[in-house]
Structure 1
Amino acid sequence: MPAQPLRPELGPTSLPKVIGGFSTVLADPPWRFSNRTGKVAPEHRRLDRYSTMSLDAIKQLPVKDVTARSAHLYLWVPNALLPEGLDVMSSWGFRYVSNIIWAKRRKDGGPDGRGVGFYFRNVTEILLFGVKGSMRTLSPGRSQVNMIETRKREHSRKPDEQYDLIESCSPGPYLEIFARHPRPTWIVWGDESAEDLVPRGKVHKGYSGGEILPPLGANEHITPSVATALGLELKHRYRDGASVREISEETGYSIQRVRSLLAGADTSMRPRGRRSA
């Protein structure tokens, strides 16, 4: 008896269109792994991370029909499915020219070894870059290194830093396919992209994304400019609802250091023991 799919596969809705076509597309397809019952599989019944699509279904998306004559494609692909990623890129009408590597870091800047893999423990993911027609990157792209180094967030969520990189290197209008979060100035398409939906997937404690903070010893001296930059970053996290203790645990800084940096950034502090609503 053939194995039953873990989730019913529904036909995708039509891709959005703009006059003249999209000049830049970002896509993070819901790749389907061959071992669909293992803990690596996104659609594992117990983990319930997200639904997946077959390779043929991904390839058949009419991306070439909604893009401009000349366009850029940024395509996320798991390390184990690199050939499939190149196949999808070709099917969508793009030729592969380069890639960007996301290096996942711990809070101290070292490689985050909590990734999975049958042969090596993956601490990187690949963002393939393809071109349709003839279009170079914008001027800032000529000095942009092909690496993003930041901390991971919930399962499968890619670094928010990708957007600034893409917007500085490729022209709009922008389309994100398989989006799981809305994005200003972008048109998004995906079954979890609406603002009132919370994407499935566990949020890992201590992984809030954003820039990597430098490790600091208990009495280590820092320059005023570094203190200002750190204070503004911690102020942002504090305003987002994190407590002083949570910031201390996440960064490895002492509670006294966190309070000092927040004070230096003129942070309006909440009463002790209370979290923001």
Structure 2
Amino acid sequence: MVDLHVNPELFALVPEPTKEDFAALKKSIEANGQHNPIIVWKDPVSSKDFIIDGHSRYETCKQLKIEPIIEYKQFDNWLVAMKFAVQVNSNRRHLSAIQKVELALREIEIEGKIAKERQKSTLPKKGEKGFQKSVPNGMHTGNTCEIVSKKTGLSSRTVARLKRILDDGTDELKRDVASGKKTAASAERLIKLEQIHTNPISLPEGKFKIILCDVPYKYDFEGEGAPNYPTLSEEEIIKLKDQHGRPITDLFATDAIIFFWAPFPKLEDALRIIHAWGFSYKTGIVWSKEKEGISQQGTGHYVVATCETILIATKGKPGIPLPKNRPLGILRAPRTNTHSQKPDITRHWIEKMYPNEKYLELFARETAKGWTAWGNQLDFPKITKPVIKKGILDYLER
């Protein structure tokens, strides 16, 4: 049998077949023979015959003791040979979406190296006139995700999600996505969760008297429909520290009041967190999720959820609002299409209760005028604020 060589760098460029795929290939070649030739290039430097495409076919032929069918091709150098190998594998239909993105990213990287080499060859030598001004043929410009999107036919959002998995995910997670065991969305959520645990963002400077808080509760059942943001257990929320080791409780002034969102299934958790942070529960507000007077139905195991609560708790002596500034105990406002987003009007209620204070929103999704916002989702695409109609503002003045 002809002796062919494997270049480790080139071999690592393309995804290895699964055991099932390799077994199917072996069975096919054993029954029907080898149809596609093994592409080989004779490296002019070493004079060795290297496999450019067809590593699995070559291994199968060796195991079956069959003389392989070989086709020699000429390439200018190893970079061009690698680009050919990536392009050939990119056109194979059995690749998963993440494998297509991985190959496209590698192709872009190789093209960049080829372009640099070409540019070096066109630059004027010492003592010569002229300068290479144009971008060499083959060099891509523009956003990487958009380029990969065009190469693979996937959306830019999907490419960005898969690129994050390739950059930050474990090998096991990548395999799970490639095999379909996990969706790209759930894999990305796991990465976000791991990153918030290992490198929580810095807490804001100073101490705050007025706090609005919407913690990312971890529920008992978090499947594929779980929220697309990192959730935390009760203990993780209580003991949360930023990357500098500063505890979240360091944000609270000696005299402070907290408005703490608590869905009914998480009331006990919310109360334990509040107490662990040094606050004492006082009262609460119910958010009735209504649109044009009709309740908006959510999910629930015992009842259909239409409400959430805001627990109000104090630390020290923050004072109580003037009678004219006290809101009703029920907030009637529609929910948005964004999972867990709370009514923007809540901040206006708090500002009226405690005017001209230093306000802090914990686990925020967006920034608001006059408020210090802290939360890992602030780096994500900005959520469009709902329009507050004049009728609602009139309601605040009651």
User: For 1:104, what is the secondary structure of its paired residue?
Assistant: strand
> CA–CA distance in 2 between the matches of 1:162 and 1:135?
19
- Identify which range, 63-72 or 133-142, moves more after superposition: 133-142
- Letter of the 1:74 counterpart: F
> CA–CA distance in 2 between the matches of 1:109 and 1:212?
17
Unaligned runs of 5+ residues in structure 2 are 1-185, 241-246
- State whether residues 359 and 370 of structure 2, in contact with CA within 8 Å, keep that contact through their aligned partners in structure 1: yes
| Matched residue, 1:253 | none
> CA–CA distance in 2 between the matches of 1:58 and 1:24?
19
> CA–CA distance in 1 between the matches of 2:390 and 2:221?
33
- Letter of the 1:188 counterpart: A
Shift of 1:169: 1.2
Q: Paired residue for 2:345, among 148, 151, 161?
A: 161
CA shift in 2, pair 1:188/1:36, >3 Å: same
Shift of 1:150: 0.9
Shift of 1:13: 2.4
Q: Indicate whether 1:184 and 2:369 are aligned.
A: yes
Q: Deviations over 1:86-114 (max 9, x none)?
A: 011011111100111110002x312112x
Bigger radius of gyration among the two: 2
Q: Indicate whether 1:144 and 2:144 are aligned.
A: no
- State whether residues 161 and 210 of structure 1, in contact with CA within 8 Å, keep that contact through their aligned partners in structure 2: yes
- Letter of the 1:144 counterpart: P
> CA–CA distance in 1 between the matches of 2:362 and 2:350?
14
TM-score normalised over the length of structure 1: 0.63
> CA–CA distance in 2 between the matches of 1:188 and 1:141?
28
> CA–CA distance in 1 between the matches of 2:235 and 2:371?
26
Q: Indicate whether 1:116 and 2:299 are aligned.
A: yes
Unaligned runs of 5+ residues in structure 1 are 43-48, 215-228, 230-277
- State whether residues 150 and 210 of structure 1, in contact with CA within 8 Å, keep that contact through their aligned partners in structure 2: no
Q: Indicate whether 1:30 and 2:216 are aligned.
A: yes
- Letter of the 2:286 counterpart: I
- State whether residues 175 and 186 of structure 1, in contact with CA within 8 Å, keep that contact through their aligned partners in structure 2: yes
User: For 1:184, what is the secondary structure of its paired residue?
Assistant: coil
User: For 2:352, what is the secondary structure of its paired residue?
Assistant: helix
- Identify which range, 27-36 or 5-14, moves more after superposition: 5-14
| Matched residue, 2:205 | 17
| Matched residue, 1:79 | 264
- State whether residues 335 and 343 of structure 2, in contact with CA within 8 Å, keep that contact through their aligned partners in structure 1: yes
Q: Deviations over 1:205-263 (max 9, x none)?
A: xx95645989xxxxxxxxxxxxxx9xxxxxxxxxxxxxxxxxxxxxxxxxxxxxxxxxx
> CA–CA distance in 1 between the matches of 2:303 and 2:276?
29
- Letter of the 1:71 counterpart: A
> CA–CA distance in 2 between the matches of 1:25 and 1:213?
26
- Letter of the 1:122 counterpart: A
> CA–CA distance in 1 between the matches of 2:215 and 2:265?
14
- Letter of the 2:229 counterpart: Y
Q: Deviations over 1:82-140 (max 9, x none)?
A: 1000011011111100111110002x312112x11111111101111100011222215
Shift of 1:38: 6.2
Q: Which has the higher contact order (CA 8 A, sep 6+)?
A: 1
| TM alignment of 1:67-106, pairs within 5 A | 67-106=252-291
CA shift in 2, pair 1:209/1:156, >3 Å: farther
Shift of 1:199: 5.6
> CA–CA distance in 2 between the matches of 1:211 and 1:87?
36
TM-score normalised over the length of structure 2: 0.45
User: For 1:119, what is the secondary structure of its paired residue?
Assistant: coil
Q: Deviations over 1:40-77 (max 9, x none)?
A: x32xxxxxx22211211101133332211100001111
Q: Paired residue for 2:232, among 26, 47, 53?
A: 53
- State whether residues 201 and 376 of structure 2, in contact with CA within 8 Å, keep that contact through their aligned partners in structure 1: no
| TM alignment of 1:204-219, pairs within 5 A | 208=386, 210=388
- Letter of the 1:97 counterpart: K
Could you tell me the percent identity over the aligned residues?
Answer: 29
Shift of 1:145: 1.0
- Letter of the 1:23 counterpart: K
Q: Indicate whether 1:126 and 2:309 are aligned.
A: yes
| Matched residue, 1:198 | 381
RMSD: 2.7
